[in-house]
Amino acid sequence: MRKVAVIGVGCAKYGARNDVTVSEIAFEAFKPAVEDAGISPKDIEFVAVGSAGAGAWYEENLPAVVIAEYCGLTGAGLARCEAACATGSAAFAMAYWAVASGQVDVAVALGVEKMRQVDTPTMVEFIGRSGYYLWEFHNFGLTFPGYYAIHATAHMAKYGTTEEDLALVAVKNHKYASMNPVAHLRSRITVEEALRSPVIAWPLKLYDCCPISDGAAAAILASEEKVKELKIETPVWVAGLGYSSGTANLSKRKDYVGLESTVRAAQQAYKMAGVTPNQIELALVHDCFTIAEIMAYEDLGFCQKGEGAKLVREGQTEIGGKIPVNIDGGLKAKGHPIGATGVGMIYELVKQLRGEAKEPSRQVPFKNYIALAHNVGGTGHYCYVTILRR
């Protein structure tokens, strides 16, 4: 397998971005990425666009071609990838394999989503359909806060996780988002504010839920040969990639205290990278709801099953703790523009591994320079885990 590095990254400001079209927000991520890599758009041979809501959430049915043209990429190969909320990671995987296979030397994963052009109830329905439509949504009316509330109540019942523990995740992630210029929700909150916020689907309250965000992120990948040719100073290598899927029919799940697809994807990624969970020095995990972050600690092997809440109580997932998690604000507060999210994680990992998360400082200290991104689609319907190494 050819070695592949991320050589350039960019991230648009996440948030309510009614000021830009989908092409414009994509360009906000793409332009700094090509500048970062020191290349021109013409050097890019394949473009994998990650976007889930094309033609439904925003007007362009075929965002790949329209965005590519806006970014000066016409002529390159194009595809759009979708894997529910792991859409950005699916695009990253396609771009990675295009380079790793030897087909191309330079590819870009360009994740983008415009989610705020439709009204909120419509968006909640759209996302709610992102399970097994004919069963969960159509017959039972479940939407995503409800799905994750099932996980939260199961975890609370089995392991004694509390509403306060969930609130602690939100407080941590809001704190780091307040220090991240591209984050959507930049206000700090307290445990009391989180607990007092309106109930959405008990035990999940408003502050347990990620916002609906517009956003875009770009990651440029290159072969080892190209890294040398371009004299890239700090390439960040793709060390491991794992992926898996779970049943779309929630009634078939063995339990609701974790996600099997995360466990399998993580094992695959660790094996490929030749590392163990305790070697990971930074993780960005899929915290669409606070309970999802606690389950991810456990499913990714950062602690034993059932001990996730303890990690956050002890502050072990803060910078300086055993394993800093979501120190960019996470989906919870940086935001979750679906197609962008997975690529936005790569953006943050690359910046961190290069030591560039400095203004204001959210820089994680590294010894081995190994970091992980974890991106889930649905409630474990899809999962991608990517390990990067400087």
Nearest approach, Cβ of residue 39 and a second copy (Å)? 18
Task: Provide Rg for the chain, Cα atoms.
Answer: 19
User: Quick check: 55 binds a second copy (CB under 8 A)?
Assistant: yes
Nearest approach, Cβ of residue 301 and a second copy (Å)? 19
**Which spans in 160-244 are helix H?**
163-177, 191-196, 224-229
Which member of 72, 97, 195, 307 binds a second copy (CB under 8 A)? Answer: 97
User: Quick check: 42 binds a second copy (CB under 8 A)?
Assistant: no
Residue 121, preceding peptide bond in cis (omega within 30° of 0): no
Respond yes or no: is residue 336 known to be catalytic. yes
**Interface with a second copy: number of residues (CB under 8 A):** 63
Residue 360, preceding peptide bond in cis (omega within 30° of 0): yes
> Catalytic: which of 85, 209, 288, 383?
85
> Catalytic: which of 336, 374, 381, 383?
336
Q: Which stretch binds a second copy (CB under 8 A): 27-35, 97-105, 229-237, 349-357?
A: 97-105
43 burial level (CB within 10 Å; 0-12, 13-18, 19+)? middle
Q: Which stretch binds a second copy (CB under 8 A): 70-78, 153-161, 308-316, 332-340?
A: 70-78
Interacting residues with a second copy between 309 and 348 (CB under 8 A): none
The position carrying tokens 């033609």 is 55
Q: Which stretch binds a second copy (CB under 8 A): 6-14, 34-42, 325-333, 374-382?
A: 374-382
User: Quick check: 2 binds a second copy (CB under 8 A)?
Assistant: yes
One DSSP character per residue, 142-184 reads --HHHHHHHHHHHHHHHH---HHHHHHHHHHHHHHHTT-TT-S
Q: Which stretch binds a second copy (CB under 8 A): 220-228, 240-248, 285-293, 325-333?
A: 240-248
The position carrying tokens 């989906």 is 331
User: Quick check: 82 binds a second copy (CB under 8 A)?
Assistant: yes
Q: Mark 121-140 with x for binding to a second copy (rule: CB under 8 A) and - for no binding.
A: -----x--xxxxxx---x--
Buried b (16+ CB within 10 A) or exposed e, 346-360: bbbbbbbbbeebeee
Contact 7, 237 (CB under 8 A): no
Which member of 24, 43, 60, 164 binds a second copy (CB under 8 A)? Answer: 60
Nearest approach, Cβ of residue 60 and a second copy (Å)? 5
Q: Which stretch binds a second copy (CB under 8 A): 28-36, 79-87, 286-294, 307-315?
A: 79-87
Cβ atoms within 10 Å, residue 339: 36
CA-CA distance, 63 to 168, in Å (whole number)? 38
Nearest approach, Cβ of residue 148 and a second copy (Å)? 17
- When the beta carbons of 253 and 362 are compared against a second copy, the nearer one is 253
Backbone angles phi, psi at 375, to 5 degrees: -130, 120
User: Quick check: 264 binds a second copy (CB under 8 A)?
Assistant: yes
CA-CA distance, 286 to 288, in Å (whole number)? 6
CA dihedral 258, 337, 76, 353 (to 10 degrees): -70
CA dihedral 64, 49, 258, 283 (to 10 degrees): -150
User: Quick check: 79 binds a second copy (CB under 8 A)?
Assistant: yes
Give the residue numbers annotated as catalytic, written as ranges: 85, 336
Site residues (vs a second copy, CB under 8 A) = 1-2, 21, 46-47, 54-56, 59-62, 64-66, 68-69, 73-84, 90, 93-94, 96-98, 100-103, 126, 129-134, 138, 241, 243-249, 261, 264-265, 377-378, 381-382, 384
